Amino acid sequence: MSGWRCDGVTFRYPEAEVNALEGVSMEAPAGGCTAVLGPNGSGKSTLLRILLGTLMAEAGTAEFDGRRLTAWSRPELARAVGVVPQGEEAAFPIAVRELVAMGRYPHLGPWRREGAADRRAVEEAMRRCDVSDFAARPVATLSGGERQRARVARALAQEPRALALDEPTAALDVSHEMAIWELLRHLARAGTTVLVVTHNLNLAARYADRLVLLHRGRVAAAGTPAQVLTRDTVERVYGWPVRVVPHPGPGPDAGAPQVVPLAGEACGTIQLREEEGHAA
């Protein structure tokens, strides 16, 4: 098992003036947690779609588990990879338990009924994502955070060997946000390949084994959190002065780099100094 890999991937949306991705090479090793970071419009979600085979690269190659995405059939890939999209709307009224059970579809197909193993997978996924108490509620009545947890549960019910998540903790409160990241780390440690697109630099640094930082459709940095989240790199990519400090702990994430954006007089002083340096 080799996880995801792409080499020299380039992609442009129709009628766009510039490429969304330009020569992107990266990897998300099997059995680990890789986070894709970057400012708005940097190409994060586009890269994820390339790696899921829903977009076709104009140049370069993309692989999952050592095979090009074009060599995977859609049913085969659906059984191997659970996906949590950034946002989706239910096309028809559905209860939470029914939504989570949809994760079993790649295994059941259109005609087979749930068996005992399917029911266990659904119940366990709901328990792990803390949605069991409202299993019978319509999805439309859930808050944004509750709905997102139900989507994660649907992906887990699939029992995939890899998970791909686009902003999985958006709209979650602190406790549920942390619980999802703890769950992702646990899954990765147990052998699931986890690929997360997120804006949260600090939680990515605390929970991911590897970071890929995109900037204007290119890879600005890739490696361990300490290698990627340096002051120079973060300021260059995000265009804002920061300090990078170690997480104080306690816990397994002690020492992880944490990005602190500067504000007020400190921010103004740094910007003025940089402008003077450019003028000189």
261 prior amide bond cis, ω within 30: no
Question: Which SS3 state, helix, strand or coil, does residue 273 take?
Answer: helix
Q: Which of the pair, 135 or 280, is modelled with greater confidence?
A: 135
The residue range of the domain holding 106 is 4-279
- The pLDDT, as a whole number, for residue 265 is 67
Nearest-angstrom CA–CA distance, 52 and 192: 16
- The pLDDT, as a whole number, for residue 279 is 46
Nearest-angstrom CA–CA distance, 171 and 169: 6
Nearest-angstrom CA–CA distance, 262 and 271: 10
Question: How many domains is the chain partitioned into structurally?
Answer: 1
Tokens read off for 147: 């709905």
Assessment of whether the complete model's pTM goes beyond 0.95: no
Grade residue 234 by pLDDT with cuts at 50, 70 and 90.
Answer: very high
The CATH number for 270's domain is 3.40.50.300
Angle among Cα 167, 164, 202 to the nearest 5 degrees reads 45
**Each residue's pLDDT tens digit, 99-114:** 999 999 887 766 678 8
Return all residues near 210 (Cβ < 8 A) that are at least 6 apart: 28, 29, 32, 33, 34, 35, 222, 223, 224
**Each residue's pLDDT tens digit, 151-179:** 989 999 999 999 999 999 887 889 889 98
Is 28 a residue whose pLDDT tops 90? yes
Is 269 a residue whose pLDDT tops 60? no
